[in-house]
Amino acid sequence: MTRTSTADWPCTIARTVDLIGEGWTLLVMRQACLGTRRFEDFQRELGIGRNILTLRLNRLVDEGLLRREEYQQRPVRHEYRLTDKGRDVYPVLAAMAAFGEKWLVGDEGTPLLLHHTTCDHDMHGVVACSECGEALDVRRVRARPGPGYPTTR
């Protein structure tokens, strides 16, 4: 099944979904944020097929979210390291984790706690207004065309 590309849509959400919205890609990025660096470790942690993992890692490198660093010459082997662009995916993952903790966890509790090392507290991600700091609520936000919105629409 071929996916429809949304990379050129006049919507930053659609463009982001095109880049990282596929399930395995998000999980590869989660593992990278958790410190996984080597192909075999990604494969073991995710249970993902080598072919699928290769495709996802290559795309993430091509798009600048990960970079390859050689750690062995014979045979040549690489680690995958987060770039600044890749690290900027983390708040998206933290917001997804907060949603999951609120709506998808049973009586057993959350399987993974996020711990903020700066303040030394367990925490959950909150998406807030960049201007006033208030947590976002869909009922209090509206979208309007920005400078990059096509005039032909």
Specify whether 35 is located in the same domain as 71: yes
66 within domain boundaries:
yes
Q: What is the pLDDT of residue 153?
A: 63
Question: What is the C-alpha separation between 121 and 29, in angstroms, rounded?
Answer: 23
Residue 8 and residue 36 in contact, taking contact as beta carbons nearer than 8 Å:
no
Specify whether 114 is located in the same domain as 95: yes
Question: What is the C-alpha separation between 98 and 125, in angstroms, rounded?
Answer: 6
Specify whether 110 is located in the same domain as 70: no
Enter the pTM of the model. Answer: 0.90
pLDDT tens digits, residue range 1-32? 777 899 999 999 999 999 999 999 999 999 99
pLDDT tens digits, residue range 88-121? 999 999 999 999 999 999 999 999 999 999 999 9
Host domain of residue 73: 12-87
How many domains does the chain divide into?
A: 2
